[in-house]
Every structure is written in C-alpha cells, then in structure tokens.
C-alpha cells in the first residue's frame, strides 16, 4: 500500500503545481490520469457505479461543492477553493487522498476554513497513536470543528481501505448513535482513509442533477482533506503524503 499511496501523493504534487487561475478542471483530471497510466496504476474512481458511472479519474469540487464534482470545462479563477480527490490501485493495493487548494489569494473565511480542515485531519492522525477507539478521535474532530464555528458533513464519511477502495469500517468525523454501535479499536494492521469535510455554514448538503456533485445547501464554501493512514506497532503512518 505504500507504493499506491506514494503514487497518489505524487498525483497531488502534480495538482498542486497546476492549480492557478485559467486552468480547467478537466486539464487537472487528464494530467492525473496520464500519471497513473505511466505507472501502470488503475484509477479507482473512473467508472464507479451510480445512476451514471463516474466519468473521471479525479473528483474536483469547487467552493460550495463538497465532494464528487465532475471535472469539465470549468475554468478556475482567483479566490476559488478547489478540492481534488483521487485514488489508484497499484499491484493490487489501493491508495486514496483528497486535498483542498487555494487558487491565488482567497478571502479570510476561506483561509480559516482551510486551516481548520487541515488541522482536523492532522488531529485525527496524531490521535490514532494515543486513543483506543475511533469514537474518541471522532469526538475530538467534531469538537475542533464546532469550536471554530464551522460544521461537520455527516452524510459522507471515511472508510477502511486495502485491496478495495471502500472497505469496513466506516470512519465518521463526528459522534452518533450509529458510530457508537459500530465503534472499533485502533489496532496495528488497521488502514483507514480519514477524510474530514468541513463546511463554513450548514452541515446540510444536496446532490446535483449530474447525480454526483454534492454541494452545501446554503452555498457557503466547504473543504475536504484526506489521507490513507496505516496503524503500525510504532504508531500511525501516512501512506499518501508522497514520501
């Protein structure tokens, strides 16, 4: 899984270099697809079943779009917040990661939202090495977001990952009765795709007519950060940071 994760990290390094006013979301997607093809990796997202199959290698979601945005002719402009989520299978093992990128200078609200979102992911990774059960971590993640005055998306959660992109357990970023029923221990050998989604306004979201793109109901911006993280005997190891 290190190799799959490393390639996903390289994809994000490529995206980071491409993000600028004037580029289209389709151009970003095509570049990542070419990178995966060059390394003999299978893109995880393209063709995923739904009311219509997902048509791209990356989910690219802009501003109020939370997740699952379809790349296309949209041109990025100064001030946009762009979420890029992608994953691949390499030699039978999967890696999955998402990151939020600022296009040029963004407003103070967007800057703070991105800071809190990234901190939330870092908090979860750090606490994996300190806590016994996931519910303890989810509670800290939720508290961190709420104290900042933002909201946690509850309709979509993280997941286990290994031979397949989506495996058990479900990995929420908040505490609920369902989580407490499905809580799990943090033990060596566990590999999770941890992915907090943080909204500037309401937690409520809706799916657009393309059957994929999810946006905030109040049209306020959202951020999304995700890493594939392995729990080892010596602590958590991030597999998708490109190292």
In the chain, where the domains are located: 2-238
Share of the chain above pLDDT 90, in %: 97
Q: Which CATH architecture has domain 2-238?
A: Alpha-Beta Complex (3.90)
Confidence (pLDDT) at 7? 98
Confidence band (pLDDT; 50, 70, 90) for 129?
Answer: very high
CA 38/CA 168 separation, integer angstroms: 30
CA angle, residues 228, 86, 242, in degrees to nearest 5: 55
Beta pairing partners, 101: 82
HSE on the CB side for 129, CA within 13 Å?
13
Confidence (pLDDT) at 243? 76
Confidence (pLDDT) at 242? 82
Least confident range of 13-17, 181-185, 213-217 = 181-185
Helix 134-147 / helix 108-128 crossing angle, nearest 10 deg:
160
pTM, to two decimals: 0.97
Which tens digits make up the pLDDT trace of 67-78?
Answer: 999 999 999 999
CA 182/CA 191 separation, integer angstroms: 16
Which tens digits make up the pLDDT trace of 222-241?
Answer: 999 999 999 999 999 999 99
Which tens digits make up the pLDDT trace of 130-173?
Answer: 999 999 999 999 999 999 999 999 999 999 999 999 999 999 99
Beta pairing partners, 224: 197
Classify 172 as helix, strand or coil: coil
Beta pairing partners, 82: 62, 101
Share of the chain above pLDDT 70, in %: 100
Stretch (H or E) spanning 15: helix 2-18
């Amino acid at each position: 899984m290190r190799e799959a994760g490393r390639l996903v990290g390289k994809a994000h390094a490529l995206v980071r270099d491409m993000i600028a006013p004037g580029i289209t979301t389709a151009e970003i997607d095509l570049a990542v697809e070419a990178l995966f093809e060059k390394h003999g990796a299978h893109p995880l997202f393209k063709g995923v079943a739904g009311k219509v199959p997902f048509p791209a290698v990356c989910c690219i979601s802009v501003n109020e779009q939370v997740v699952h945005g379809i790349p296309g002719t949209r041109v990025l402009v100064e001030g946009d917040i762009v979420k890029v989520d992608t994953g691949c299978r390499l030699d039978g093992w999967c890696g999955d990661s998402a990151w939020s990128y600022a296009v040029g200078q963004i407003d103070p609200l967007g800057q703070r939202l991105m800071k809190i979102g990234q901190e939330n992911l870092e908090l979860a990774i750090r606490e994996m090495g300190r806590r016994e059960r996931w519910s303890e971590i989810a509670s800290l993640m939720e508290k961190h977001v709420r104290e900042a005055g933002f909201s946690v998306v509850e309709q979509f959660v993280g997941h286990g990952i290994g031979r397949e992109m989506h495996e058990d357990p479900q990995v929420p970023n908040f505490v609920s009765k369902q989580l407490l029923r499905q809580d799990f221990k943090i033990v060596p050998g566990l590999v999770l795709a941890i992915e907090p989604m943080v909204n500037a306004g309401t937690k409520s979201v809706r799916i657009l007519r393309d059957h994929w793109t999810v946006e905030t109901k109040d049209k306020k911006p959202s951020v999304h950060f995700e890493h594939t993280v392995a729990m080892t005997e010596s602590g958590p190891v991030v597999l998708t940071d490109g190292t």
